[in-house]
Amino acid sequence: MTDPREAAPDRVVLVLFHKNSVRRAVPFIDAVAARGVRVSALVADGLGWHNPPPLPAGVEVYSLGRAESRRPFVWTYTALVERIPGGVLRRLEHLPGPLGRAAGKAGRVQRKIAGRLRRRVFWPVYRPLRSHAVRRAALRRLGPLELDTASRLVLADDAAVPLGWTLTKRHPRLDVTRSLHLGPYQDHPVIAPVPEGPDRPAAPRPYRQL
Amino acid sequence: MRSDRPRLLYLAFFFPPSRASGVFRARATADHFAAKGWDVTVFKAPDDYYERVTGSIDPEFAASVDPRVEIAAPPVSHFKWETDVRRYGRFRGNFPVLARRLNDFLHLKVFPDNYLSWGVSSLREALRRHRKRPFDMVVATGNPFAAFGAAWAFGKLTGRPFVVDYRDSWTLSQFKNEPAFPPDHPAWKWERRILRSAAASLHVNRNMLDWYAERYPEAADRMQVVLNGWDPEVFAETADPAPADEHRPLAFSFIGTITLVQPIREMLEAFRLMRESGRHADASLDLYGHYGFFAGGETVLRTELGLADPIDGVNYRGAVPKPRIAEAYDATDVLLFVTGGSKYVTTGKVFEYMASGKPIVSIHEPGCAAEEVLRGYPLWFVPASLDPADIAAALADAGDAARKADPAVTAQARAHAAAFTRGNALEGFEQWARDTVAERKPR
C-alpha cells in the first residue's frame, strides 16, 4: 500500500538551533505531518543540547553538531580548556600511589573549573556569535536537505534567523518563516493520526551528521 | 456651512473592517458623532494589519460605517508580528536578538505599548491635518493604548482637549481583578500623566470607573461612564418572539466570540445534564461566532474547550456577519450569556441579547458587571452557582419560559432593553463634547 505522504508534494524543513525550541516545535511537526506534509529538521545539537526532548519519528533529522564543534573558536577553546587538560589528568588518575590520587583530585578540580569557565566565559562570548558560526558551517553542508524541493523553511528560534535570512537570497522561491502555525497547511485534510503519550516513537539517534 | 461643524479626530486602531473585540463601540461612536453634525476623522490600523496579523477581517462590515466619516490608516510597524523572514532588514536578518532587544527597549522607555509606531504615525498625520484645518477634539479608544499616548501628545502640542475611552482597561487585568503590571512598570506613570491632562476619561461600567477613580483621584471628577449598547438596525425587522411550538425542539444558543476565558465547559456539561434530566431532552445547543479574535486559533480553542469532537445536540453554526445576526436570534429560543466576566466586564453582547426579548441564562461568575444591566430584565435566569447542575436547572427554567413566551413579558423585556441602545449610551458624552468645544472656542 502506498503511503499517502509519499504522494504529497509539500515538504517542510524545520531549523532548530536551540534545544528549548524542540518542545514548541513538536506540536507543529505533529500537525503538519498529520496533514501529509514531509518534515525534515536541521538541528545544531552540538553545544548546550543536554537531554533535549526527542523529535517525533518520521522526521528526517540532520545534525550540525559535529560541524559546530569543529568551528575554530569552539574547537580551540574545548581543546585547551576541557579536552587536553581533562584527558591528561584522566590518564594520570590510573597511576598507582600518591601521584594517581593527586591526579584524581586535580581532575575533579579541573572539571569544576572548566564547567564554571564554560558558563561564565565561554557562553557569554560564544552565544552572540553562535548563530553566525553555525550559519557558516551550515551553508557549506546543506546539499542533503534538498532545499529546492522544500516548500517552506521554518525557523524555530531567533538563533536560526541569520541562516534563514541568507537562504532567502539563495532560494528566492522558498517560503522562509518564523511562524510555527499551520499556515498554508491549515486546510489540508488530516490523513494520519497524531501519536500521543510518553511512549510515542522518536526519531532514531544519532542524527545524520552534515 | 461644513466649516462650522465641530471637528473630531477619533483614534481607533481597531475599526471596520476589523472584527476585533470592541470594534462595534468604535464604529458606533464615529457614526453617532457624524450623525450629530460633527466632521469625524477616524485613524485606524491599515487593513494590511488586520489581514496579515490578526487575520480577522469582515469586508461587509466596513460598508456599514456612516459614509460621512472620513477614514485614514496611518502605518504601523509589523516588527513584533512579522514572521516572513524575507521581509526582515539586513540588521534584523543578521542580528535578530539585538534587533528584538532594541525594539523592546524603545517600547519600554518611550511608551510601553506594542503599537507605539502607530501612535507616532497617527500623531504625525494628525498634526499635518490639524495645520490645514484644526481639529476641535480628539477621542482615543484603547486598546491599544498608544492611541492614548498619541492623543496626549496631540493635546500638549496643540492645546486641544482630548478624551481617552477605556473600552478595555489598561492597568487593570479585567479577568483577574488585579493590576496588570508590577508597581514600577512605566504604564502606571504614563496612565497618570495622561489622565492628569485628559479632558475626560470614559469607562464601560461603574465598577471600572470606581477602580480608576480610586487610583487617580485627581482625575476622578472628569471620569464618565459610557456603557456599551445595542445597534437598533440589527433588530429593525425582528418580530416579537412567539411561543415555541410544543412539538418543536427548543434551540438554546450562544452568540458571540468563543474564547478561553468563558466557562464553555460548564455550559456544555450543564446542557448535557439538562437533556439527561428529561426537561427539554430534545433541545439543541447552537454556537454562533468565531473561535477567538484572531485567525488560526480555532484548533487550539476547540481542543481546550472540549469542542474538538462532536457532542450530541451541540452544533457549531459558524460566524454570522453583523447585518445578518438577527437571523441567528430569530432561530433561537433561549440565549446563553457566557462570559469570563468579572465585576469589571460588561461585554457588548449582553445588550444585543436583551434587545432580542428572549430568555437569557447567565453563565458567569457572580458579580459580573453585566448583572448591572440585566437587573430588571424579566426573562433573566441566574443559576445559583457555576456548578453545571445549577446551570442545568436555570437552562430548563428558561426553556419553560420560552415555551410560554408571554407577550406582555416580552414587551416588558424589550422595553427594558430599549434604554440601552448605542445612541442612548453615547448621547450624554456627545452633548458634553459639544459643550466642551463650544466653551473653548465660541462660534
Q: Over the stretch B65-110, which tens digit does the pLDDT of each residue have?
A: 999 999 999 999 999 889 999 999 999 999 999 999 999 998 888 8
Query: What is the reported pLDDT for B109?
Result: 85
What residues make up the domain containing B351?
232-418
Q: What are the grid coordinates assigned to B391, written together?
A: 446551570
Share of residues in chain A with pLDDT > 90 (%): 37
Residue A135 lies in a domain: no
Last residue of a domain, one of A106, A130, A154: A130
Tell me: the pLDDT tens digits for A45-67? 888 787 778 888 889 999 998 89
Residue A77 lies in a domain: yes
* Shared domain check, A198 and A100: no
List chain B residues with CB under 8 Å of A162.
93-96
Query: What is the reported pLDDT for B318?
Result: 85
Q: What is the mean pLDDT of residues B154-173?
A: 95
Report CA dihedral (B211, B214, B215, B218) to the nearest 10 degrees.
130
Q: What is the mean pLDDT of residues B122-133?
A: 97
Query: What is the distance between the alpha carbons of residues B262 and B25, in angstroms, rounded to a whole number?
Result: 21
Q: How many domains does chain A have?
A: 2
Query: What is the distance between the alpha carbons of residues B38 and B69, in angstroms, rounded to a whole number?
Result: 9
**Cβ separation B100–A181 shorter than 8 A:** no
Tell me: the pLDDT tens digits for A68-77? 888 989 899 9
Last residue of a domain, one of A130, A153, A177: A130
**Cβ separation A162–B88 shorter than 8 A:** no
What residues make up the domain containing A123?
72-130
Residue B130 vs residues A22, A155, B102, B160, B428: alpha-carbon distances, Å: 52, 45, 32, 10, 26
* Shared domain check, A201 and A107: no
Tell me which of B302 and B420 has the higher pLDDT.
B420
* Shared domain check, A162 and A60: yes
Q: What is the mean pLDDT of residues B258-262?
A: 86
Q: Which residues on chain A place their C-beta less than 8 Å from a C-beta of chain B?
A: 31, 128, 131-132, 155, 158-159, 161-162, 164-166, 168, 175-179, 181-182, 186
Q: Is B405's pLDDT higher than 80?
A: no
* Shared domain check, A195 and A152: yes
Query: What is the reported pLDDT for A8?
Result: 45
Q: How many domains does chain B have?
A: 2
Query: What is the distance between the alpha carbons of residues B290 and B56, in angstroms, rounded to a whole number?
Result: 9
What are the backbone angles phi and psi of residue A18, rounded to the nearest 5°?
-130, 135
Share of residues in chain B with pLDDT > 70 (%): 95
* Shared domain check, A188 and A88: no
* Shared domain check, B203 and B65: yes
Q: Is A1's pLDDT higher than 50?
A: no
Beta strands per DSSP E along B135-199: 137-142, 162-166, 172-173, 178-179
Tell me: the pLDDT tens digits for B13-60? 999 999 887 888 999 999 999 999 999 999 999 999 998 888 778 887
* Shared domain check, B436 and B348: no
* Shared domain check, B206 and B283: no
Residue A136 lies in a domain: no
* Shared domain check, B177 and B254: no
Last residue of a domain, one of A87, A104, A130: A130
Whether residue B17 has a cis bond before it, omega within 30° of 0: yes
Query: What is the reported pLDDT for A4?
Result: 39
* Shared domain check, A95 and A154: no
CB B100 within 8 A of CB B107: no
| Min distance B86 CA to chain A CA atoms (Å) | 6
Query: What is the distance between the alpha carbons of residues B329 and B21, in angstroms, rounded to a whole number?
Result: 20
* Shared domain check, B241 and B197: no
Q: Is the dihedral of CA B353, B355, B360, B366 positive or negative?
A: positive
Mean pLDDT of chain B: 90
> What is the CATH classification number for the domain harbouring A181?
3.40.50
| Min distance A168 CA to chain B CA atoms (Å) | 6
Query: What is the distance between the alpha carbons of residues B142 and B168, in angstroms, rounded to a whole number?
Result: 6
For testing contact with chain A, the best of B84, B85, B98 (most A CBs within 10 A) = B85
Tell me: the pLDDT tens digits for B304-358? 777 777 888 999 998 887 778 888 999 999 999 998 867 888 888 899 999 999 9
* Shared domain check, B343 and B328: yes
Residue A181 lies in a domain: yes
Beta strands per DSSP E along B310-429: 314-318, 334-338, 360-363, 380-381
Q: Where is average pLDDT lowest: A5-9, B236-240, B416-420?
A: A5-9
Helix intervals (H) in B278-387:
298-304, 325-330, 349-355, 370-374
Check CB contact of B89 with chain A, cutoff 8 Å: no
The answer to ipTM > 0.90 is: no
Check CB contact of B93 with chain A, cutoff 8 Å: yes
Q: What are the grid coordinates assigned to B203, written together?
A: 469607562
* Shared domain check, B196 and B61: yes
Tell me: the pLDDT tens digits for A100-153? 899 999 999 999 999 999 999 998 998 888 999 999 999 998 888 889 889 899
Q: What is the mean pLDDT of residues B392-406?
A: 91
* Shared domain check, B222 and B324: no
Query: What is the distance between the alpha carbons of residues B307 and B260, in angstroms, rounded to a whole number?
Result: 12
Confidence grade of residue B158 (pLDDT, cut at 50, 70, 90) = very high
Query: What is the reported pLDDT for A53?
Result: 82
Beta strands per DSSP E along chain A: 11-16, 38-43, 60-63, 152-155, 175-177, 208-209
> What is the CATH classification number for the domain harbouring B75?
3.40.50.2000
* Shared domain check, A204 and A181: yes
* Shared domain check, A145 and A48: yes
Burial class (CB in 10 A: 0-12, 13-18, 19+), B115: buried
Mean pLDDT of chain A: 86
Long-range contacts of A137-145, Cβ-Cβ distance < 8 Å, separation of 24 or more: A137/A64, A137/A67, A137/A68, A137/A70, A137/A71, A138/A42, A138/A44, A138/A64, A138/A67, A138/A163, A138/A210, A139/A163, A139/A166, A141/A64, A141/A67, A141/A210, A142/A210, A144/A62, A144/A208, A144/A210, A145/A13, A145/A40, A145/A42, A145/A62
* Shared domain check, B298 and B215: no
Q: What is the mean pLDDT of residues A16-43?
A: 89
CB B200 within 8 A of CB B224: yes
Confidence grade of residue A2 (pLDDT, cut at 50, 70, 90) = very low
* Shared domain check, A60 and A41: yes
Confidence grade of residue A159 (pLDDT, cut at 50, 70, 90) = very high
* Shared domain check, A201 and A145: yes
Tell me which of B231 and B235 has the higher pLDDT.
B231
Q: Return all residues near A191 (Cβ < 8 A) that are at least 6 apart.
A: A4, A5, A34, A35, A36
Residue A27 lies in a domain: yes
List chain B residues with CB under 8 Å of A132.
94
* Shared domain check, A158 and A98: no
* Shared domain check, B199 and B260: no
Whether residue A206 has a cis bond before it, omega within 30° of 0: yes
